Amino acid sequence: MKSLTYSNSIPYTGDFDVAVCGGGVAGFCAAIAAARMGAKTCVIEKNRMLGGVMTSGGNNDIGLFCAGDRPVIRGIGWEFARRLNKMGYADIPVFQDGISHSLQGVKVNIPMAACLMDTMCLEENVALSFGTTIVDVRRDGGLWLLICAKKGALSAVRTKFVIDCTGDGDAAVCAGAEYELGDPLTGTLQPGTLRFIPSTFDAGVLTKEQMQKSFAQQLEKGSLRKSDFWPGAKGDPREIVTHHGDNINHVEISADYEQKTETIEIEARRSLARITNWMRQIPGFEAFSMEYLCDGVAYRETRRILGDVYVTVDDYVQARVWDDSVCYAYFPVDLHQHESVADERVHNIFLDKNHVPTIPLRALIVRGLDNFLIAGRCVSSDRLANSGLRVKAPCMAMGQAAGSAAALALRHGVGIRGLDIQELKSALSDAGCIVP
């Protein structure tokens, strides 16, 4: 590949105590936590709204705040859910034992969720920068220098602490962090999903068996692919309507996904076209259409940044409690697999509600870098553990822990590794978190 050297002067857009890269649910909680503890904080977000997969990605389910009927995650994420519920824009289920994890999430109204996230950040004077990506990270004396790209301009932000909540670990990798990607033997990644909202129809017009038969016929003809409706012929294709297009398809993601963004997105939209064409052939659904689709595929897996500690699936399933555990995470191991990889669409390992995994602070500290943290999907973990850690409520808890840790270290004038872990745990507890 040809290259060139480019030199230009760019403006500083601000000096901050804490810069949060990525404004998904982890970054949202990290920023508010840091700001509430007195740190001058900014959020640098590639999309034009906060919320990440929950809003821009269209997956409006927050799981899981409870292990059965036992609360395990509270703090800012739960505060957000409660505020949204009080406004009439979130459905909080009755948390109970013996119910599928898929029915235990908090369902939010996407536009109002994004609006409340704005409000909560502005209440704490968090500086928001939308439509902005991190393109380079440099060390500038004792500070971090973040080179940002926004439409029409480059700029720079200086900060004492960085928290990478991008999901992909973009900022950490720019800073030189080590990472893992996909299956250690094959490089395979979990498939993504493109959310859509179909037109409203009565799914009761046809039986499950009729829809399954039609799906199987279209597969045999080659008009559909198994990944177009990932539960396959054993699932209930009526969910295309009853689930409002949420978590319906599997979109293949390869290890070189950054170079294949266009191919991935085009193939995802072709999948939706195949679904539409099939549904219109079904009696009673002749006028079926897709009214809306999200602006891109939601990824389940990309880079996992290596931290000072590495959480394994054994640590996760056996609910290891670390000396520096700062939050809980409760969700089954949930490894999705594309049809090209395995017949088993999802590999699950279910957890005992009395054995709840924990996340150590050291898994949120980037190995080899000073005052550089991670939270959310890119947490330091193996692939199977990460498939449970990646969901929204644990990401919220990680974000709050990382933001609080950065602000507390700043308050005491110490590096992140010099932080008194018991003081951090006390601060999290005082802020309403459930601390291991």
Give me the pLDDT at residue 64, please.
97
> 181 preceded by cis ω (within 30°)?
no
CA distance 335 to 341: 12
Three-class HEC string of 288-342: CCEEEECCCCECCCCEEECECCCECHHHHHCCCCCCCEEEECCCCEEEECCCCCC
CA distance 212 to 169: 40
CATH superfamily, region 13-185+301-430:
FAD/NAD(P)-binding domain (3.50.50.60)
Q: Point out which residues pair with 219 in neighbouring strands.
A: none
Helix (H, G, I), strand (E, B) or coil at 133: strand
Give me the pLDDT at residue 206, please.
83
Give me the pLDDT at residue 8, please.
86
Q: Pinpoint the residues of the chain covered by CATH 3.50.50.60.
A: 13-185+301-430
- Return the structure tokens found at 374: 């991670």
Q: What is the mean pLDDT of each run of 10 residues along the chain (436 residues)?
A: 87 96 99 99 98 97 97 99 99 94 95 99 99 96 96 95 99 98 93 94 85 93 94 86 92 92 97 96 90 94 98 98 98 90 84 96 99 99 98 99 99 98 99 99
Give me the pLDDT at residue 364, please.
99
Closest listed residue to residue 60, CA positions, set 118, 114, 108? 108
Give me the pLDDT at residue 234, please.
79
Closest listed residue to residue 405, CA positions, set 379, 424, 430? 424
